[in-house]
A and B are shown apart, each in its own frame.
Chain A
């Protein structure tokens, strides 16, 4: 099939059996002028599946799918317009008629094709490639910074949402769970919009702050810190915190509030940071990253981020300083003035 813009659909990407979430469950490879890209199509039939699973009526489910598609499409257009070069933006969006009838017209988004996500890339190396990791962190921090500058919180940063491109550039992908400050976003009603398996601890313990920044941008800041721990030791910060929690105090069985469990969370967090820092090679890098992770993943959202941001009138969750930090560390590592063993 050839789309009106000249893209030729070449291959369907098989849907993974577990991949029932999200509104775009159909993926295709498309080609044009020798370039390969990835097409995500909105699957209207998913409305019935949602209706069966959640009990809401099909019409509401369909409305939700359309809203989500429009939200992501508009957001991607906005990101493209703002030249966010560390965010995976859509090359094109549109619709194509594939069949007769009401649902015969399919809406789609076309994205540049990545080599894979960070997990796939890291598997190429026998040992940790510190320079690559630091560059990747610089790109991810930049991507989040670009989104935050547009008052957008990503809310779902995790290893599978950091895509690596052939030019060795990493970008933040999947804005399906994003939230825009001052507007209503499709996932705003959810306790936690993103993947709960990577959620910051306050959200696991059902502490939902009404303040948009403290709830949503603070989660991004935490996710960036968690990405640092994943890239260096293969474990998310949330998993490391929970591994150090007393079993009686784990979120599925905790009957109290988040502030009541804060002492135990802090203690577990301290051990998690220590564990992370011991996996970072080189004294200097260890010291700097330990401090950064402590700030980025602070269990109290109000204390998350760079301390200097809190002192001034700037956004306390501004990632600008971390963009500079990871850039500096990557450059130092590249020219060999950062101890890496």
Chain B
């Protein structure tokens, strides 16, 4: 199984419009402009006209005018009159005066339906509002969830063409193009926005997207100046500080990186908290206060914190929330399925991975993890056909390690321990050569587990070796958990308890018996 992230960038999150708005990430505020003397004169005139002609239409005129310039007192004067005389007022005016949208609830509720119905509703609105970029972004998101990348890209391209300067549209477009492995287009969309060199949210997106694509950023210098600009609120620059910190970290300037990450935590959003949580594993010295883990939607950071603490069920719960928040993203699916598989809840792991593969159909890491979970649950035919979807020649790094280990697992389960051992050995060698001792230990532990389940002659030696390897990895709850599972399995073997009844966690019994 795989979930570790070697690289993490503060790529913009892509949520529905209302949620993004509620999180304050679309704000671009300035001090409120007071009504001008001309506005005040216009309202005063309308108030007097209304006093002379106290009827619905003078009240309506006053209400519209006062509402536009934000003169609440005058608006209330008109509003009270309209609501007291509602029987002679147009229905739409009464609705406006009472603060009601005047539209049927079904027309407005874009967030509560099943995807297919939601797509149908948005398409219906787009027929009469073809230039509504927000609707195009919403439908692109739904198509992405359905794995229909052609329609998703087409919709997003339309949105970005209609409002190339909108922060919401540009950030969502960058996220989608990156999801579709098209970083050049993602960068193009960001860089052509009129606010790209000024808006801290777009500067952050440019730097992070360039980082993720391993291409040079064009706006690091401008971003750095903007990050030092005290007129920008700490919340508006949180992702910018974080993106710049990541850049410094990539360039090996850890002290500067730490300073920038600390700055990003002055008033963070969940993305920058997650970034600091991740970066801290490399740069160290960055403490995340518990209160930061309570800010809205901090699922990723909380999931990781719980995983490190060995709080498996909490980690899964946070992982599931993270997945609900970013349903098209592969990372929450990899994370949650990994933790579920760690505690041997293969059923949950399989379900999460299968759903995520709709939005990420050819993702080798998701496929590998699914094959592992299926194999561990003894669903071997399915596991075999899933694994065949991976193009092995393209796998490198961590994927190459886990892929070899998964192949080893399947070989053991189909009764070919010799081949299984070879694959596990390959995984161990690859982990050693990459210097990843944790993955090496995990491969050795899983090899021991398979030797035990297959009751081979090499089982005892493999277990002893595995437990020694595991003991070398200090303070890693995941390795410790697998080691415990191996120990339990060995004890059960000795006591002749059926393998299916042995587990380090209660949830695994259900999963393995299904």
Collect the chain A residues with CB atoms within 8 Å of residue B60's CB: 119, 230, 234-235
Please determine whether B38 and A234 come into contact, CB atoms closer than 8 angstroms.
Answer: no
Cβ–Cβ < 8 Å partners of A270 in chain B: 125, 128-129, 132, 135
Which residue of chain B has its CB nearest to the CB of A199? B68
Q: Which of B28-36, B355-363, B403-411 lines the interface with chain A?
A: B28-36
Does B432 sit at the interface, judged by CB under 8 A? no
Asked whether, in the complex, the Cβ of A232 is within 8 Å of the Cβ of B92, the reply is yes
Q: How far is the CA of A53 from the CA of B34 in the complex (A)?
A: 17
Residue-wise interface mask of B (211-253) relative to A, using a CB-CB cutoff of 8 A (1 in contact, 0 not):
0000000000000000000000000000000000000000000
Query: Which residues from chain B contact A160 at a C-beta distance below 8 Å?
Result: 49, 61
B90's contact among A17, A232, A240, A252, by CB below 8 Å, is which? Answer: A232
Q: Which of A179-198 contact B (CB under 8 A)?
A: 195-198
Give every chain B residue within 8 A of A17 (Cβ-Cβ). 44, 48
Partner of A234, one of B45, B93, B103: B93
A267 within 8 A of B: yes
Interface size class of B (residues with CB under 8 A): 35 or more
When the two chains form their complex, are residues A266 and B32 in contact, meaning their CB atoms are under 8 A apart? no
In whole Å, how far is B12's beta carbon from the nearest beta carbon of chain A? Answer: 15
Contact A53 B37 (CB under 8 A): yes
Taken together as a complex, chains A and B put the C-alpha atoms of A260 and B168 apart, in Å, by: 9
The answer, yes or no, to whether A120 is at the interface (CB within 8 Å) is yes
B309 within 8 Å of A by Cβ?
no
Contact indicator A18/B45 (Cβ below 8 Å): yes
**Interface secondary structure of A, over-half rule:** helix
B163 adjacent to chain A (CB < 8 Å): yes
Give the interface of B toward A (CB within 8 A).
Answer: 17, 21, 24, 26-34, 36-39, 41-49, 52-53, 55-58, 60-61, 63-70, 82, 88-93, 95-96, 101-103, 107-108, 125, 128-129, 131-135, 159, 162-169, 194-195, 199
CA distance A160 to B46 in the complex (A): 9
Interface range, A side: 35 or more
Q: Which secondary structure dominates chain B's binding surface? A: helix
Q: Which of B33, B36, B46 is in CB contact (< 8 Å) with A253? A: B33
A residues whose Cβ falls under 8 Å from a Cβ of B: 16-21, 53, 118-120, 122-123, 126, 128, 158-160, 195-199, 204, 230, 232-236, 238-240, 242-244, 246, 248-257, 259-264, 266-267, 270-271, 273-276, 278-279, 290, 294, 303
Residue A123 contacts which of B26, B53, B125 (CB distance < 8 angstroms)? B53
* Apart from the given pairs A235-B96, A239-B64, A262-B165, 18 other A-B contacts in the complex at a CB distance below 8 Å: A16-B49, A17-B48, A119-B57, A119-B61, A120-B57, A126-B88, A160-B49, A196-B36, A197-B68, A230-B64, A234-B90, A235-B64, A236-B68, A248-B24, A254-B30, A266-B129, A273-B128, A275-B101
A230, B30: Cα distance in complex, Å: 31
- Specify the chain A residue showing the minimal Cβ separation from B34: A252
Q: Are B64 and A238 in contact (CB under 8 A)?
A: yes
